[in-house]
């Protein structure tokens, strides 16, 4: 059984901040910043694409609650909210979870790495291919 399920089942200790029938919120044990939280669905879905839209919507309602609480309690001026959606994106545990990282002006933390650059005309071609 993977670690998130063990946390959900109370087999591994965690600092739970919120729990309902669909998800839990815990403090990340390897935080980017103090107060870094994870919103984790109780049912296992590896990626966003596998997660039912109704559940994903609920998870983001909880994300909004966490964001508001971090801003109030930690007095952070911003947050990073992100999902590592697959192994190539840095997902270490194949159980969808959403990170909420409190941020402060000039905190020196980087969540996004180096940016790519498009070749001339490449952006328009790719844009056409990716249209939904």
Active site residues: 97
Note down pLDDT in tens along the chain; length 132 residues. 689 999 999 999 999 999 999 999 999 999 999 999 999 999 999 999 999 999 999 999 999 999 999 999 999 999 999 999 999 999 999 999 999 999 999 998 877 667 788 899 999 999 999 998
3-130 fold: HIT family, subunit A (3.30.428)
Measured distance CA(12)–CA(24) in Å, rounded:
14
Give the Å distances, CA to CA, from 36 to 17, 97, 103, 124. Answer: 11, 12, 9, 37
Q: Domains of the chain: which residue ranges?
A: 3-130
**pTM of the complete model:** 0.91
């Amino acid at each position: 059984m993977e670690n998130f399920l063990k946390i959900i089942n109370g087999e591994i200790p965690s600092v739970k901040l919120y729990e309902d029938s669909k998800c839990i919120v815990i403090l990340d044990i390897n935080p980017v910043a103090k107060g870094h939280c994870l919103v984790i669905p109780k049912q296992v879905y590896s990626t966003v694409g596998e997660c039912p839209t109704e559940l994903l919507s609920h998870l983001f309602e909880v994300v909004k609650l966490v964001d508001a609480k971090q801003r109030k309690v930690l007095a952070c001026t911003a947050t990073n909210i992100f999902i590592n959606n697959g192994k190539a994106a840095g997902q270490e545990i194949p159980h969808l979870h959403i990170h909420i990282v409190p941020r402060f002006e000039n905190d020196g933390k980087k969540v996004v790495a180096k940016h790519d650059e498009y070749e001339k005309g490449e952006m328009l071609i790719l844009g056409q291919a990716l249209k939904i």
